[in-house]
């Protein structure tokens, strides 16, 4: 062949992929691209979608550098090969959300795993990600797979793996599975066996477990809820009602699963515009608390009526509130965990209770491995693990039930969430947080910022001495849990900033925290001082 395509991608590679692709739609997509857009075709074959500690996640498109049925089949074959080496057999749970392609990808995954000799439990219909994590532990499964891209844009999908602990995979397992994926010769030749039905008993057991979590007796509470066009709506309603919370208003236009997320620009409840309808509903129905789940319901955002109107709490606010409640009667051998980019207040609360607090790298794949006797874990990105014995991952639905329990208890005594936050602040000091997010063109650009900081680290910020902690230090790979990663922490007196590239998106992130003691009963002056210092460091973060 001559012409542009022959200069950009090997035609034989394209021919082989098209011949092996089991999906006629993506075969046709590649055939059209080779005629109409050789540059885009070359992009599709510029490497494979990499299988990492988050499994697979990427845009829905044909070719090896996208999420499609051929890529899912190869990933499943690689996973099956890994499981065969480490287990003589066993149960594998497969679930999926309601995104474009999710049902088809889950069916292919289940059939290939069954064809490889495993007992596959396919959960019935689109369901929250935490149900897969729950099912793995409840059924004693050797692995679980859920097809989801969580809160990513509508054009993405993903493939997430749990192993027999019910936790997400970590290195070096990801690299081992990736090597096996690359060795798959043909996905069309993989044996398949049809998987019929699903286990609804897992859903009922999950509802019962979540409903048993509340610590208090108060149940008078009005809740405003949105599942943000995702799969958590029905299960969240069932769980809240089973726990005794019956007064629930929902954002009707966001309640049914919608893979296009039509009412929001982003389905991430951390974005203020995404929760605007929820807060409007909360105000309209005079709710006591507002709760937003992300599309696969593993994360939970919380809104309250504060002194200046309705607002969404930060992930650190909710993380500390839930942590303080669970630590109130924690056994002495309990362990709580949070990440290096989250607030340090949980550690101070744990110290006061003589409970160990472990700080890990970002991600629940690390948090849930902090200790076997883990009581609670959270990260600032609105992820909470309130029941690690049942779900060894973040779970927005169980978190929502625990939030309802907390707010109902406060309401029954005439107190508010702001009152409790003030109490914690007076005792442990202001822990003000902020985050600066900067889009980059590619991961190399984010890495270059870290390289510049390593080569020429600042010694002062705002005329205050600063020391540097480089998380790329090889010695940190030997800590337990391991803390080595591509991140740098700038540390001042009562203030710090962690800079790292995102693991799932093309952005550079800077996480800031200012800690100021409260003198007297009024936390206002300490909050003002923390805000002043954060503003200075935020300006520095924007110029990195």
pLDDT in tens, the chain (544 residues): 344 444 588 999 999 999 999 999 999 999 999 999 999 999 999 999 999 877 999 999 999 999 999 999 999 999 999 999 999 899 999 999 999 999 999 999 999 999 999 999 999 999 999 999 999 999 999 999 999 999 999 999 999 999 988 999 998 999 999 999 999 999 999 999 999 867 779 999 999 999 999 999 999 999 999 999 999 999 999 999 999 999 999 999 999 999 999 999 999 999 999 999 999 999 999 999 999 999 999 999 999 999 899 999 999 999 999 999 999 999 989 999 999 999 999 999 999 999 999 999 999 999 999 999 999 999 999 999 999 999 999 999 999 999 999 999 999 999 999 999 999 999 999 999 999 998 888 878 888 999 999 999 999 998 999 999 999 999 999 998 899 999 999 999 999 999 998 876 778 999 999 999 999 999 999 999 999 999 999 999 998 8
Phi, then psi, of 334 in degrees rounded to 5: -70, 160
Q: How far apart are CA 441 and CA 454, in angstroms?
A: 21
Please, what is the end-to-end C-alpha distance for the chain in angstroms? Answer: 47
Return the C-alpha torsion angle 401, 403, 404, 408, nearest 10: 140
- Helix, strand, or coil (residue 20): helix
Instruction: Check if the beta carbon of residue 309 is closer than 8 Å to that of residue 282.
Output: no
Residue tagged active-site, from 6, 88, 150, 412: 150
The angle, 0 to 180 degrees and rounded to 10, between the axes of the packed helices 69-86 and 102-115 is 40
Active site residue 150: yes
Instruction: Check if the beta carbon of residue 509 is closer than 8 Å to that of residue 501.
Output: yes
State the pTM of this model.
0.95
Q: How far apart are CA 269 and CA 248, in angstroms?
A: 19
Q: Three-state SS string across 217-238, please? A: CCCCCEEEEECCCCCCHHHHHH
CA distances from 301 to 380, 446, 506 (A): 11, 28, 23
Ranges of H-type helices in 121-232: 129-139, 173-182, 200-211
Per the document, the length of the chain is: 544
Domains defined for the chain, CATH in brackets: 47-198 (3.40.120.10), 204-427 (3.40.120.10), 430-542 (3.30.310.50)
Instruction: Check if the beta carbon of residue 432 is closer than 8 Å to that of residue 526.
Output: no
């Amino acid at each position: 062949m001559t012409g542009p395509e022959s200069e950009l991608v090997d035609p034989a590679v394209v021919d082989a992929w098209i011949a092996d692709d089991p999906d006629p739609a993506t075969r046709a997509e590649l055939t059209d691209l080779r005629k109409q857009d050789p540059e885009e075709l070359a992009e599709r074959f510029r490497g494979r979608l990499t299988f990492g500690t988050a499994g697979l996640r990427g845009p829905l498109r044909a070719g090896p550098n996208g999420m499609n049925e051929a890529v899912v089949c190869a990933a499943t074959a690689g996973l099956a090969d890994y499981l065969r080496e480490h287990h003589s057999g066993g149960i594998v749970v497969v679930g999926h959300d309601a995104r474009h392609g999710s049902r088809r990808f889950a069916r292919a995954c289940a059939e290939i795993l069954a064809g490889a000799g495993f007992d596959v439990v396919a959960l019935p219909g689109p369901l929250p990600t935490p149900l897969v994590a729950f099912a793995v532990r409840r059924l004693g499964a050797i692995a679980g797979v859920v097809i989801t891209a969580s809160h990513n844009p509508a054009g993405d999908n993903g493939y997430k793996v749990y192993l027999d602990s019910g936790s997400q995979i970590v290195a070096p397992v990801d690299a081992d599975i990736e090597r096996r994926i690359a060795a798959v010769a043909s996905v069309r030749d993989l044996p398949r066996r049809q998987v019929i039905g699903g286990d609804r008993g897992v859903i009922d057991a999950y509802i019962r477990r979540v409903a048993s979590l509340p610590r208090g007796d108060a149940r008078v509470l009005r809740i405003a809820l949105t599942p943000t066009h995702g799969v958590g709506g029905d299960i969240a309603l069932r769980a809240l009602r089973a726990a005794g919370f019956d007064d629930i208003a929902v954002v009707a236009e966001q309640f049914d699963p919608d893979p296009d997320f039509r009412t929001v620009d982003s389905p991430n409840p951390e974005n203020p515009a995404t929760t605007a309808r929820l807060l409007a509903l909360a105000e309209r129905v005079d709710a006591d608390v507002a709760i937003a789940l992300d599309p696969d319901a593993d994360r939970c955002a919380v809104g309250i009526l504060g002194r200046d109107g309705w607002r969404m709490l930060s992930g650190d606010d909710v993380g500390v509130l839930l942590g303080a409640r669970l630590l109130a009667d924690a056994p002495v051998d309990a362990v709580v965990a949070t990440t290096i980019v989250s607030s340090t207040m949980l550690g101070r609360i744990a110290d006061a209770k003589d409970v160990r607090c472990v700080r890990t790298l970002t991600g629940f794949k690390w948090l849930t491995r902090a200790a076997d006797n883990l009581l609670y874990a959270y990260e600032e990105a609105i992820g909470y693990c309130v029941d690690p014995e049942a779900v060894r991952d973040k779970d927005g639905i169980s978190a929502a039930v625990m939030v309802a329990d907390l707010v109902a208890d406060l309401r029954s005594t005439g107190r508010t969430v702001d009152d409790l936050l003030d109490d914690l602040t007076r005792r442990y000091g202001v822990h003000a947080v902020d985050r600066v997010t900067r889009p980059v063109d590619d991961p190399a650009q984010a890495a270059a910022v870290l390289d510049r900081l390593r080569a020429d680290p600042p010694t002062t910020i705002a005329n205050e001495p600063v020391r540097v902690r480089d998380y790329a230090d090889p010695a940190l790979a030997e800590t337990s849990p391991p803390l080595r990663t591509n991140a740098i922490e700038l540390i001042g007196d009562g203030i710090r900033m962690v800079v790292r590239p995102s693991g799932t998106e093309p952005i550079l992130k800077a996480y800031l925290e200012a800690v100021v003691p409260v003198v007297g009963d009024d936390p206002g002056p300490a909050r003002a001082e923390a805000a002043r210092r954060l503003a200075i460091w935020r300006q520095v973060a924007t110029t990195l």
